[in-house]
Amino acid sequence: MKRLLIAALLSLSIISCSEEPELHIENIEGKWVLDHSSTSLYIDLKSDASFEMGVEVPNPRVLRGMYSYGDYLLTLRSTNIEAIYGVTFVSDDEIILDEVSKTELPNKLNLIRE
């Protein structure tokens, strides 16, 4: 009985050690671009909490301001706009932004790190 108990505990400890979740550092900073090249939209989230969002074709347009990020919510603030996006990390280099506020900015963006 004692050997059976020791064998059971040993097998449980091996299983629990092998099933540890993989940890990812979810760093939102950096330049993000659309994952398909039909339009050249980008968001550059800088370390000083400023951002630049732009569309390069056909007529270049740029929106600049400040951003904040916490609890998987990204808030972009500019002079005339405040947009809030829910952030889903697909991987360290791919995110999905779903707008929860209603603005003229895109509602859903699948972005990859440039």
Q: Residue 106 class from Cβ within 10 Å (0-12 exposed, 13-18 middle, 19+ buried)? A: middle
Where in the sequence is the domain holding 61, given as residue range(s)? 28-113
| Distance between CA atoms of residues 73 and 33, nearest Å | 18
**22-26, 35-39, 96-100, range with the lowest pLDDT:** 22-26
Residue 22 domain flag: no
> What pLDDT score was predicted for residue 5?
52
Residue 33 domain flag: yes
Residue 33 φ/ψ, nearest 5 degrees? -130, 160
Residue 44 domain flag: yes
Residue 85 domain flag: yes
* Domain of residue 62, CATH code: 2.40.128.280
Q: Are strands 82-91 and 94-99 parallel, antiparallel or unpaired?
A: antiparallel
User: Domains in the chain: how many in total?
Assistant: 1
Residue 20 domain flag: no
Residue 80 domain flag: yes
pTM of the model: 0.74
The DSSP annotation for 38-96 comes to TS-EEEEE-TTSEEEEEE-SSS-EEEEEEEEEETTEEEEE-SS-EEEEEEEEEETTEEE
Q: Are strands 61-70 and 50-55 parallel, antiparallel or unpaired?
A: antiparallel
Residue 14 domain flag: no
Q: 60-87: per-residue pLDDT in tens?
A: 889 999 999 999 999 999 998 999 999 9
Residue 101 domain flag: yes
